[in-house]
Amino acid sequence: MPSPKALIKMNIKNLCYRTDCIIQEFDGTVSEEDDYFVVRTPAVPNYHWGNYLLFKKAPQAGDYDKWIEAHEKEFGTDSGHVTFGWDSQEIGDISDFEKNGFTRESGEALCFQGVPPEVEIEPDFEVRKIETDEEWQTVMDLQVRTDQEESPSEGFVAFIRNLFQTYRRMNAKGWGNWYGAFCENTLIGDMGIYFDSKLEVARFQRVETHAEHRGKGVCTHLLKTVMREAISSKPDAKLVICANLNSQAGRIYSKSGFQKTELHHGVSLPRPYKNRFDR
């Protein structure tokens, strides 16, 4: 694995945001200013959680104009979206942001470190690494279908394509792998896991299960299989997965041995487009 870029110094404390930036460590930048970090992913410019400002403190009353001014300084006035996170577990005062159309996005980081869980059942599907062009295309198709089941836009399809080109380059350089659950050669679930350059933390990426196969243990079995392989290859790394607050996904991860560790918050506005993936 290559050494970290000179620009990437993980002074970010929040585990979700820190592990989010594994992608930027590989194929982007994280630069530090006095009050915030600037996160950029040039290969995927319409990725709102790949191109944003991460402030060091939660927003307070009167911060709205200052934060907007900082975003316009770093990204210009026609970036297609405006997204802020903060390196704190506090929600802060986001009332001015909500008044101006921003949507709050909150979640929890769950961590695992230790003896890998047992895989209790022998399922009627196979878990394997994604390797061929055809398999990668199948993964992208499932990601599009499960995220936007009704008429996905061209912009969103392009976003997924660009994002997965980055994941595939990360695979080729040894930063992690993508895995799929196949039932009779049909992909029914998938997830990725990628490590930071110091092998201190790893982050699960875009866990998805085909709508017709949910509630059948696909995600649990896939997750435990990938956990065992990750721990076997890099036993000292802390495994991190992020989920929406009080979600079914979070409950599945908790049952697999993950511990709720900390919260993360942010706000985002798809300005000026209704679909943030269309430019």
User: What pLDDT sits at residue 239?
Assistant: 96
- Beta strands 82-86; 259-269: pairing state: antiparallel
Contacts for 226 with CB less than 8 Å, ≥ 6 apart = 127, 179, 191, 193, 204
pLDDT digits (tens, 9 = 90+) for 182-215: 998 899 999 999 999 999 999 999 999 998 988 8
CA–CA gap between residue 40 and residue 163 (Å, rounded) = 13
Query: What would the pLDDT profile of 18-57 be if each residue is shown by its tens digit?
Result: 999 999 999 999 999 999 999 999 988 888 899 999 999 9
Q: Say how many CA atoms lie within 13 Å of 221 toward its Cβ.
A: 21
- Global pTM reads 0.88
Query: What does pLDDT average to over the chain?
Result: 89
Tell me the CATH class for 15-106+265-269: alpha beta
Helix ranges (DSSP H) in 28-174? 64-75, 95-99, 133-147, 154-172
Q: How confident is the model at residue 277 (pLDDT cuts 50, 70, 90)?
A: very low
In the chain, CATH 3.40.630.30 covers 15-106+265-269, 126-261
Whether CATH 3.30.565.10 fits 126-261: no
